[in-house]
Amino acid sequence: MTMLKPAVPTSIVVLFLRSLGFAVGTILLLVIGSLAVLLAFPLSFERRYHISQPWNGFVIWWLRKTCKIDYRLSGLEHIPPGPTIVVAKHQSAWETIFLQQFLPPLAWVVKRELLWIPFFGWALALLHPIAIDRKATTFALKQVIRQGQERLAQGQWVLIFPEGTRTAPGSRQPYAASGALLAVNTGYPILPIAHNAGELWPRRGFFKYPGTIDLVFGPLITPSGRPAKVLNALVEQWIESTMQRISRVPEQPAENK
């Protein structure tokens, strides 16, 4: 993986101290936020979700203050007023936090192991995610379609990372068709998202690098009678072509699973 150097040279010591400050603040507030959601379990889903949001907002703010990472948005005009299926590039933890905070209530498709993490996982379970077993591929796909349809009907948006795991900048994984199949089965449109967060907040690494994350919302892609395979190809084509435009890391050969 090619790691970018920050535009303004920053010493390793400064990067370490900034990243440490970010981590400490984030973890402390995560514990408090998780406890707040757990204590709110008797309340409605809407109230619990609202209570969970200050932590997401804090992380984005704290990241800017400590690590000097900001963001720039484009394509905001494509965000629809009603529930939709969000299909996004997955490079970092940043987009999972930002999208939860920026968009309407999301049902996030997650690996079920996350729900086993003390406090955080228990609180996450109260926010109606779609928790799947990645090893049970067929069952997981049926679960995404069934529960995704339920969440959409209830007014939640559904967030899917089609690559299934975080990929390094310049890399890509095959796109699973779960988002396209959900769209075909429900008639809801897909909102594709591309971003380069992994260049500043790497998927496996403690250091956070100063700079500006570009996130682009694409035009809605509707089922319109298309087969899921064609729909999925359209989503992948838009995301990956946009990644080539906003990424500062040359594209590398596809990673092996």
Residue 253 has pLDDT above 80, yes or no: no
Average pLDDT, the chain: 92
Residue 10 is predicted with a pLDDT of: 67
pLDDT band at 38; cut points 50, 70, 90: very high
Residue 254 is predicted with a pLDDT of: 53
Residue 247 has pLDDT above 80, yes or no: yes
pLDDT band at 135; cut points 50, 70, 90: confident
* pLDDT (average), residues 55-78: 97
Residue 5 has pLDDT above 80, yes or no: no
Report how far apart, in Å, the C-alpha atoms of 250 and of each of 4, 9, 111, 171 are. 11, 21, 29, 9
* pLDDT (average), residues 31-52: 96
Report how far residue 201's alpha carbon sits from residue 97's, in angstroms, rounded to the nearest whole number.
12
Which tops the pLDDT comparison, 111 or 249? 111
Residue 1 has pLDDT above 50, yes or no: no
* pLDDT (average), residues 200-226: 95
Residue 22 has pLDDT above 70, yes or no: yes
Q: Which domains does the chain have, with CATH numbers?
A: 69-246 (3.40.1130.10)
Residue 229 has pLDDT above 90, yes or no: yes
* pLDDT (average), residues 125-150: 92
Residue 211 is predicted with a pLDDT of: 96
Report how far residue 65's alpha carbon sits from residue 53's, in angstroms, rounded to the nearest whole number.
19
Residue 154 has pLDDT above 90, yes or no: yes
pLDDT band at 205; cut points 50, 70, 90: confident
Decide if 87 contacts 1 (C-beta within 8 A): no
Tell me the HSE value of 95 on the side-chain side, using a 13 A CA sphere.
31
Residue 134 is predicted with a pLDDT of: 80
Nearest residue to 253 via CA among 173, 142, 157: 173
**99-133 per-position pLDDT tens digit:** 999 999 999 999 999 999 999 999 999 999 999 99
Report how far residue 168's alpha carbon sits from residue 132's, in angstroms, rounded to the nearest whole number.
23
Residue 252 is predicted with a pLDDT of: 67
* pLDDT (average), residues 195-203: 96
% the chain with pLDDT above 90: 86
* pLDDT (average), residues 80-91: 97
Report how far residue 253's alpha carbon sits from residue 143's, in angstroms, rounded to the nearest whole number.
31
